[in-house]
Amino acid sequence: MSVHSEQTVPWVLLAGPTASGKTALAIELALRIGGEIISADSMQIYRGCAIGTAQPAAEELHGVPCHLTGCLDPWQPWSVAEWLRAAKICAAEIISRGRIPVVVGGTGLYFKTLTNGLFETEGAAKHPEVRSRLEVEWDVDGGVALYERLRAVDVESTARIHANDKLRVVRALEVFETTGRSISTLQAEDRAQRKPLNAHRFVLCLDRDDLYHRIDARVEAMIAQGFEDEVRKLLDLGALDEWPAMRALGYPQMLRMMRGEMDRASAVEETQRFSRRYAKQQMVLYRRWWGAVWLDAAKGLTENARWIEKMLEFTASAA
């Protein structure tokens, strides 16, 4: 497949629930179209967590470069804003090499911010003391006074923000106090200036029973591959429940098992159950992703990769 200029090279965005086979499809596709993978998984970023977060191994990648996996210490926080900046840098470098960015993962918020943008204000970010003061004021009366204050300066925001939404009410007032302008006005200006991302969006799905079977099998495979040893090494590093990486599926259960708070069978069963619940939540988010093409995982890697490749070729020839 031919590669065009930096302005016309499309990104390929491939989302899907956990255990749907999206990483394998991304690798197959990247091999076909000359792509490089960017992980859109909030937990694959952590080193030392390869098994529990299903980071693709070198032998699985078949030489395809994979970015934003295993490159952050498990105790370090990692925000959606940081991921968005890193993903854009990776994509620019990939395109400069004459290749195609293939973004794959299950973190729906990453895809949402990538396609819709993420509003940030430097002024507010530099005044944490303002946020702290507003949070104290909120606690006085449960936010009643702050919400009325917000209504007085930004009625448009109060039409979208519930009176009990402490985080967003405080954020909106923080922006107003540090910039002198309403957050709704700044967001509108930001949207007007933002260039739309040139991307093809796909969601890999399959029958619920088949998906749940895959999820259960994946958890069993994680145990067989040495998941317990992986968590034990993290414990040797001083792993705490509060570490960001320890919020990934399976890690809380393994930690509790190693502390004697639950047996192995219960840890496995709970991980499977929580993973199925998470997959259900993921699918709810993906259904709201406008413009995405849904792919049936049951058709297999080759057919789905070939179909995406043909779509890219068609749109490139029509451009």
Residues 287, 154 within the same domain: no
Which of the pair, 197 or 195, is modelled with greater confidence? 197
Overall number of domains in the chain = 2
Q: 286 lies in which domain range? A: 11-108+199-318
Condensed to tens digits (0 to 9), the pLDDT of residues 219-278 reads 999 999 999 999 999 999 998 899 999 999 999 999 999 999 999 999 999 999 999 999
Instruction: Return the amino acid letter for 220.
Output: E
Among the candidates 139, 162, 193, a domain finishes at 193
Residues 292, 151 within the same domain: no
Q: Is residue 288, in this structure, part of any structural domain at all? A: yes
Cα separation, 239 vs 111, in Å, equals: 29
pLDDT band at 121 (very low <50, low <70, confident <90, very high): low
Residues 75, 134 within the same domain: no
Cα separation, 54 vs 215, in Å, equals: 12
Instruction: Give kind and range of the element (H or E) at residue 296.
Output: strand 293-296
Whole-number Cα distances in Å, 225 to 106, 112, 161: 22, 33, 45
pLDDT band at 126 (very low <50, low <70, confident <90, very high): low
Angle, CA of 68, 74 and 79, to the nearest 5°: 55
Q: Is residue 231, in this structure, part of any structural domain at all? A: yes
Say what the pLDDT of residue 5 is: 43
What tokens does 72 get? Answer: 């952050």
Q: What's the CATH code of the domain at 227?
A: 3.40.50.300
Among the candidates 140, 167, 193, a domain finishes at 193
Contact 13, 111 (CB under 8 A): yes
Q: Please report the sign of the dihedral spanned by the C-alpha atoms of residue 228, residue 77, residue 21, residue 61.
A: negative
Residues 101, 224 within the same domain: yes
Share of the chain above pLDDT 90, in %: 82
Return the DSSP state at 46: B
Say what the pLDDT of residue 290 is: 83
Condensed to tens digits (0 to 9), the pLDDT of residues 143-152 reads 999 999 999 9
Contact 51, 230 (CB under 8 A): yes
Task: Compute how many other C-beta atoms are within 10 angstroms of the C-beta atom of residue 240.
Answer: 12
Say what the pLDDT of residue 92 is: 95
The pTM (predicted TM-score) of the whole model is: 0.84
Question: DSSP secondary structure string, 142-158?
Answer: TTHHHHHHHHHH-HHHH
Among the candidates 193, 214, 249, a domain finishes at 193
Q: What's the CATH code of the domain at 185?
A: 1.10.20.140
Residues 95, 133 within the same domain: no
Say what the pLDDT of residue 123 is: 44
Q: Is residue 84, in this structure, part of any structural domain at all? A: yes
Residues 40, 174 within the same domain: no
Which of the pair, 100 or 195, is modelled with greater confidence? 100
Q: Is residue 45, in this structure, part of any structural domain at all? A: yes
Residues 206, 239 within the same domain: yes
Instruction: Give the strands of the sheet with 293-296, arranged side by side.
Output: 66-67, 35-39, 100-105, 11-15, 199-205, 293-296
Residues 72, 142 within the same domain: no
Cα separation, 195 vs 139, in Å, equals: 40
Q: Average pLDDT in the 95-108 region?
A: 97
**How would you class 123 by CB atoms within 10 Å of its CB: exposed for 0-12, middle for 13-18, buried for 19 or more?**
middle
Instruction: Return the amino acid letter for 164.
Output: N
Residues 209, 168 within the same domain: no
Question: DSSP secondary structure string, 159-190?
Answer: HHS-TT-HHHHHHHHHHHHHHSS-HHHHHHHH
Cα separation, 119 vs 81, in Å, equals: 9
Residues 130, 245 within the same domain: no
